[in-house]
Chain A
Amino acid sequence: MDDASLPDGASGRTVAAPTRREVYEAEVRRRSNRIALISTASVVLAIVFLVPLAPGWEAVQRSFFNGRVFAATFPGLLNAFLLNVMIFAWSAPLIAVTGLAIALCRDTRAPALFPLRLFGIAYTDIFRGLPVVLVIYIIGFGVPGLGLPRPWNSPYIWGTLALVLVYSAYVAEVIRSGIDSIHQSQRSAAASLGLSERDTMRFVVLPQAIRNVVPANMNLFIALQKDVALLSFIGPVEVFRQAGVYKSLYANFTPYVGAALIFLVLTIPATRYADYLMNKQNRART
């Protein structure tokens, strides 16, 4: 039965009065919102009331959620976090460029460039197979140990290199999966127009591939933001290290909670945004 056959002239309606279906769906939505609200509230209340009943709660609170220590250390933590931001800011573009270069190495087809391809494969295999902190240690202490003069032995340089090596390997794999996801017919279309392989890659495949992997890469860069803290192992006093210093001075873990808060303020919106992009893309694909 279509609208036109309804006797009450509903089909000719110009004002947006809700249809029966809309009324029904609104009611369902209201009911599920109510249930979600009630169950969330009960879980939160349970946590708020039950956790403090635990026998060790007071001690935990004093060690981890100590207002006095928090107030004394938080400004210093924020200040140290600037270093994280800086390291991130110069590492991220380097990682993006290196990752792209490695992805292209792996994608070369010309036999003359086979060594490049082999290099790309070895690179991604090795650096994805190593814990970041190991690479930071080995490169951050190892290379300067060869006897480089200052400032070329700076932990910032070699620590950054370590981050770039590891993360560009992941970024390269993500970009490569993006390249693979571009349908062969796009390459065919480009080839049929007489475009060279190079131009096909540069103007047709890569722009689409990179757009497709933006969310995946965002997740990598969120992880990078956290792993910047590992540079502290070779000297730089970023927020994680600063929190460790405060922890040791105050014999209290609250500074770590402060550092965690700073990370979350940054990473939660970024994660939500990456998820949003990912969903949007999935919807566009179907």
Chain B
Amino acid sequence: MKLIVGGALAVLFTATSVVAQDGGACAKGKTLTDGTLTIATGNPAYYPWVMNDAPESGEGFEAAVAYAIAEKMGFGQDNVTWVRTSFDEAIQPGAKNFDFNMQQYSITPEREEMVDFSLPYYTSAMAVLTTQNVVDAGAEATLDSLKGLKWGAVATTTAIPMLEDVIDPSSDPLLYNDNADVNAAIMAGQIDAALYDLPTALYLSAVVVEGGALLGQFPPEQSESPDQFGLLMEQDNPLKECVDAALTELTESGELAAIEAQWLAEATGVPVIK
């Protein structure tokens, strides 16, 4: 009898501890590995989204948001693992090696035909990165002036439709594989300006591009379809409702705004393009 009670107690104890570890009921059985949340980021992951290319530290805007979402879903710091993927790996058919993928993916209706996005966790302004030389040569934060510049962008971003629809430059833009190549082209004077999301542009102009300057920004509220970042998931991933619930909670409680204030610089000094 004593043995039976003891056994029952033991079972009960184990059960409660599993629940505590496994987090909220929502995510249960929906993750890649039971009890673990697998999050993907870029290779490398860039400042200020992830500091020092080390998402495990939780430092950097996306890293911090990732851990906040994980916590709301019931995964402790130790139950999160990180993987790296390229954009192509993120969208290729077949089994995914992540629960969600977080690297400034813009939510667009076209992409949603193929993959699922969470609710947005950030709404970005687009900003014009250029060099002091170009500014000195007379470039201004007006659409007219921008049209005449030679443009570049990273080929895999939603900056390209924006470039074509809003700025509509007079010569064809040049497109590159990644930020590093765009910067090389700017520094070589092959392009005058590049379109980035504002936090990236701020960082590049201040730290990476020699003589870099921010000419202006297109604030999200001005745009008909603002650039919103979402977590990318395999289509029909059952985890989406849990992620969305966590994000809604974070937004409503103001936690998300606090994280943003902590990691993303104020962009008040950047002129708005007219």
Contact = CB atoms under 8 A, between A and B. Distances in A.
Interface of A: 56, 59-60, 62-64, 68, 141, 144-145, 147-150, 153-155, 232-237, 241, 244-245, 247-253
Contact of B188 (A63, A64, A141): A141
Interface string B67-94: 0000000000000000000011001111
Contacts of B156: 244-245, 247-248
A63 B123 CA distance: 28
Given A155-B190, A253-B92, A141 B175 contact: no
Given A244-B155, A248-B155, A235 B114 contact: no
B175 A237 contact: yes
A252 B114 contact: yes
A9 B176 CA distance: 79
A235 B157 contact: no
Contact of B174 (A59, A63, A64, A235): A235
A63 B114 contact: yes
Interface stretch (B9-17, B19-27, B33-41, B179-187): B179-187
Contacts of A241: 155, 175
B188 A153 contact: yes
Contact of B189 (A62, A149, A245): A149
Contacts of A237: 155, 172-175
A60 B155 contact: no
Contact of A147 (B94, B150, B184, B189): B189
B190 A249 contact: no
Contacts of A253: 88, 91-92
Contacts of A252: 91, 113-114
Contacts of B187: 145
A241 B160 CA distance: 12
Contact of A247 (B88, B172, B184): B88
Given A150-B190, A153-B189, 18 more contacts: A60-B94, A63-B92, A64-B93, A145-B187, A147-B189, A149-B189, A150-B189, A154-B190, A234-B181, A234-B185, A234-B190, A237-B155, A244-B155, A248-B156, A249-B108, A250-B110, A251-B110, A251-B113
A56 B113 contact: no
Nearest to A249: B110
A148 B188 CA distance: 8
Contacts of B184: 141, 145
Contacts of B150: 150
B91 A233 contact: no
B268 interface: no
A150 B134 CA distance: 13
16 contacts: A63-B91, A63-B92, A144-B188, A145-B187, A155-B190, A232-B175, A233-B177, A234-B185, A235-B152, A235-B191, A237-B155, A247-B156, A248-B87, A250-B113, A251-B91, A253-B91
Classify the secondary structure of A's interface with B: helix
A60 B93 CA distance: 6
A6 B104 CA distance: 89
B185 A141 contact: yes
A247 B152 CA distance: 18
A148 B152 CA distance: 18
The winner among B185, B190, B191 for most chain A CB atoms within 10 A is: B190
A66 to B, nearest CB: 8
A197 B174 CA distance: 49
A253 B156 CA distance: 13
B93 A56 contact: yes
Given A56-B94, A149-B189, A249 B158 contact: yes
A244 B190 CA distance: 21
A249 B161 contact: yes
A27 to B, nearest CB: 49
A235 B185 contact: yes
Contacts of A60: 93-94
A166 to B, nearest CB: 20
B67 to A, nearest CB: 26
A67 to B, nearest CB: 12
B259 interface: no
A38 B93 CA distance: 34
Contact of A235 (B87, B88, B190): B190
A-B complex: 8 closest residue pairs judged by Cβ atoms:
A235-B174, A59-B93, A144-B188, A248-B156, A251-B111, A251-B114, A63-B93, A145-B188
Interface string B142-176: 00000000101001111011000000000011111
Nearest to A152: B189
A261 to B, nearest CB: 19
A148 to B, nearest CB: 8
Contacts of A141: 181, 184-185, 188
Interface in B29-55: none
A247 B111 CA distance: 9
B195 to A, nearest CB: 13
